[in-house]
Structure 1
Amino acid sequence: MSLAAYTASTILPSMCRPVVAATKFIGVGSLGLLTGVSFGASFASIKSLLTLPSAPAAHRSFTHLTTTLSTLTTPLTYLTTISFITAYLFSPSYKRHPYLLITAVLPVLSSGYASIVLSPKTQRMEKLIEENGEKGVNGEELRDGMVEWERAYWGVVAGRGVGFLLAVVGIWGDGA
Structure 2
Amino acid sequence: MVIDNGDVRSRGKIIDATLELIAEDGFEGVTIAAAAHRAGVSRQTVHSIFGNRETMVSEAMAHLTRTTTDDLRAVIAQTEDPVEFVIELIAAGVGFARTTPAIAALVGVGGGNPLFDPGALDRAKPVTLEFLGPVADRFTEIDEVAAVATHLSLTLFLFGDADQTTDDLREFLRRWLSPALSQLVRG
TM above 0.5: no
Larger radius of gyration: 1
Q: Which has the higher helix share?
A: 1
Higher relative contact order (CA 8 A, sep 6+): 1
